[in-house]
Copies of this chain bind each other. A is one copy, B any other.
Amino acid sequence: MSNILRQQIERIVSLTDEEYAFVLSHFTSKKFKKHQIIIREGEYVHNDYFLLSGLMKSSHINPEGREHIIQFAMQDWWITDPQAYHNETKATLQVDCLEDSETLFITLENREKLCREMQKMEYFFRKKTTAGYIALQRRILCLISSTAKERYENLLTQYPGLFQRVPKSLIASYLGVTRETLSRLANNN
Contacts and interface: CB of A to CB of B under 8 A. Distances in A.
B176 A134 contact: no
A137 B176 contact: no
A82 B140 contact: no
Contacts of A40: none
Contact of A132 (B66, B133, B138): B133
Q: Which of A60, A123, A126, A132 has the most CB of B within 10 A?
A: A126
Contacts of A139: 140
Contact of A70 (B70, B129, B137): B137
Number of copies of this kind of chain in the complex:
2
A122 B130 contact: no
A164 interface: no
Interface residues of A, number: 31
Interface of A: 60, 62, 66, 68, 70, 82-83, 86-87, 115, 119, 122-123, 125-126, 129-134, 136-141, 143-145, 176
A66 B146 CA distance: 12
Given A70-B144, A140-B143, 19 more contacts: A68-B141, A68-B145, A70-B137, A70-B141, A82-B134, A83-B137, A86-B131, A86-B134, A87-B134, A115-B123, A122-B122, A122-B123, A126-B126, A129-B129, A129-B133, A136-B140, A139-B140, A143-B144, A144-B176
Nearest to A119: B119
